[in-house]
Amino acid sequence: MDATSAQKRIIELQNLLNQYNYEYHILDKPSVPDSEYDQLLRELIQLEEQYPEMKTPDSPTQRVGGAVLEMFEKVEHRTPMLSLSNAFNEEDLRDFDRRVRQAVGNDVSYVCELKIDGLAVSLRYEEGLFVQGATRGDGTVGEDITANLKTIKSIPLRIKKPLTIEVRGEAFMPKKSFEALNKIKEERGEEPFANPRNAAAGSLRQLDPRIAASRNLDVFLYGIADPGETGIQSHSEGLDLLDELGFKTNKERKKCATIEEVLEYIEGWVEKRPNLPYDIDGIVIKVDSLSQQAELGTTAKSPRWAIAYKFPAEEVVTKLLDIELNVGRTGVITPTAVLDPVRVAGTTVSRASLHNEDLIREKDIKIGDFVVVKKAGDIIPEVVNVLPDRRTGEEKDFMMPTHCPECHSDLIRLEGEVALRCINPKCPAQIREGLIHFVSRNAMNIEGLGEKVISQLFHEKLIEDVADLYKLTREQLLNLERMGEKSVNNLLNAIEASKQNSLEKLLFGLGIRHVGAKAAKTLAQEFGTMEALRNATYEQLTAINEIGEKMADSIVTFFEQPEVQELLAELESFGVNMEYKGPKPVSAEESNSIFAGKTIVLTGKLENMSRSEAKEKIEALGGNVAGSVSKKTDLVIAGEDAGSKLKKAQELGIEVWNEERLVEELKK
């Protein structure tokens, strides 16, 4: 490429990347996959290295981060918050290692850390007290988000020593918090967040700290802005100091003596990445020695002593072939994208939820478009955006119907909701979805009654409501396709066994709006019988800790319906249990058990019982079973193939039992 062509291409790339930067960092609505952005940036870096005279101060290669939003007060960073250069393959990492050793000699070691996919933040403490928190902004000036950061419980408001210090870290939204938040947004008919990073950024940019507080954010601290006065000699010592001061750091870090060890560390995390409870988008590699860091120095954009290895992109491009409509058990009409099958994050994806009509309009999605697809939280397939430049003119606009695609009743939009809803209680789709929910694992758990069998029974008019399941006969089932003597016997036995389920299973299976599995168990434990719950008043329900006003109102309304009362009477006549059979939890004060008042984590595979059974027994004795290990954990029970939870418990010095010890203590 000659100089004239190079200059033309450099200008083109700068304009494109500046636009993509704006969409990603300012609007939090990226229009291209990360892989496409990274490819264009690498091309620009190579051209500017070849023609350095064409490099301009406003080039994306010189940018540290996004511009400052006007809604918060500006904060000037005393020490610039530099971004990291990227490595995309082994060759890039070996080049980085070669440059380091050429500058400081061969006696060098690295610290590898997980690159958390969140929002970079800086926290300033004066004499041990948290006084200010800020975003990176453009690297020199950020946004004051102190009030929002104070809502993150893992950020100490006072550290363990009265130091004046500024620390750096990454605020993020754990996968569970992300899934819970998007579930709430979907129930409201609102557009969900595209990924946990956007959710975290959007939460910390809220003017109302109460919104940030409700989002359950977290943070990992990874460095000290100016370590000069701390007396530490290395980055790893700095991380240890952060631990001592009471900050949360990521324990998955590792000190590596060679670039070969770095490569092994990266390879391990490429495989283990999906199992983490938070998103990571790469690995950060830093020279450990602070004196060597100083010798290597920085460029205007990034330090020469650190680099970020980026994992292969999780976003792909495919064609949207059609949009289908699904009617849920609550009547919500959900459009679903039918995709040309494509491999994303280890699985083949052919369908993705489009959530609601407003999202389709906002993203300008047309049937026939080429679209960018990713997995939200590496789990749920979603359409990120369309690629309008690839349109041929044959694409078709999609229009939501005015009538239910199943029963043809008028669709309505309830006040305060975005979703269209069918409110016909006899809508076949809602009945079918309700039946599928009723027999599911967390509800009545009727093995052999999967979605296909339910649809078959419904199509043959053998079942119209959940009570009909208990009327099924051997002859009816044997007449169905692919139903032999053995499978029919197993199915009838499973239906019969479900009659003995404890009350909470039935409550959850009935599909009362806003009542999930946990709330169903709370209600069953509190009232004991279906009769007592049916007669419960709104005031009695809201007096229970975990039952809010919306849920209480929904429960009262549900049991007032004559159809519901008839259904319950019919189920009872078939012998379906209407009482709570589980142990009633006791408080720590009432229990003499060794588990009373303790926070316990279960990990690995148990041989003598399921983890849910173990959880139930421990809670019945006054214990509290948590999902993750922390400094507040009192005991970890490790079965076979226990993984990172066991490792963390050992690092924190927490008591660990095997299953044999658990069984012994439960017998006492």
Could you tell me which residues come within 8 angstroms of residue 617 by beta carbon, excluding any fewer than 6 positions away? 583, 609, 666
Is 663 in the same domain as 526?
no
Question: pLDDT digit string (tens) for 401-456?
Answer: 999 998 998 888 877 777 888 878 678 888 899 999 999 988 999 988 888 899 89
Q: Maximum distance among all alpha carbons in the chain?
A: 87
The values of phi and psi at residue 310, to 5°, are -95, 130
Other beta carbons less than 10 A from residue 393's beta carbon: 5
Number of domains in the chain: 5
pLDDT of residue 58: 64
Task: Give the CATH number, domain containing residue 214.
Answer: 3.30.470.30
pLDDT of residue 346: 55
* Residue 115 appears among annotated catalytic residues: yes
| Residue 564 domain flag | yes
- Is the Cβ–Cβ distance between 457 and 463 less than 8 Å? yes
Other beta carbons less than 10 A from residue 583's beta carbon: 12
Q: Active site residue: 8, 74, 115, 505, which one?
A: 115
Is 541 in the same domain as 403?
no
- Residue % of the chain over a pLDDT of 70: 94
| Residue 594 domain flag | no
Is 93 in the same domain as 187?
yes
Average pLDDT, the chain: 87
**27, 62, 97 - which closes a domain:** 62
What distance in Å separates the CA atoms of residue 208 and residue 400, rounded to the nearest whole number?
35
Helices 428-438 + 451-459 axis angle, to 10: 140
Question: pLDDT digit string (tens) for 166-213?
Answer: 999 999 999 989 988 988 877 776 777 777 888 898 888 887 888 888
User: Residue 370 belongs to what domain range?
Assistant: 316-421
What distance in Å separates the CA atoms of residue 216 and residue 408, rounded to the nearest whole number?
41
Is 114 in the same domain as 248?
yes
Task: Give the CATH number, domain containing residue 45.
Answer: 1.10.287.610
Q: In what order do the strands lie in the sheet with 599-603?
A: 624-626, 599-603, 635-638, 655-657
What distance in Å separates the CA atoms of residue 334 and residue 422, rounded to the nearest whole number?
11
Is 167 in the same domain as 266?
yes
pLDDT of residue 377: 46
What distance in Å separates the CA atoms of residue 581 and residue 663, rounded to the nearest whole number?
21
Question: pLDDT digit string (tens) for 550-608?
Answer: 899 989 988 998 888 999 999 999 999 999 998 776 655 566 788 888 899 998 888 88
- Is the Cβ–Cβ distance between 578 and 530 less than 8 Å? yes
What distance in Å separates the CA atoms of residue 87 and residue 100, rounded to the nearest whole number?
14
- What is the value of pTM for the model shown? 0.47
| Residue 224 domain flag | yes
| Residue 585 domain flag | no
Is 288 in the same domain as 328?
no
Is 551 in the same domain as 625?
no
What distance in Å separates the CA atoms of residue 599 and residue 636, rounded to the nearest whole number?
9
Question: Is the pLDDT assigned to residue 628 strictly greater than 80?
Answer: no
Is 543 in the same domain as 446?
yes
**310, 335, 352 - which closes a domain:** 310
Task: Give the CATH number, domain containing residue 654.
Answer: 3.40.50.10190
What distance in Å separates the CA atoms of residue 252 and residue 8, rounded to the nearest whole number?
45
**421, 455, 490 - which closes a domain:** 421
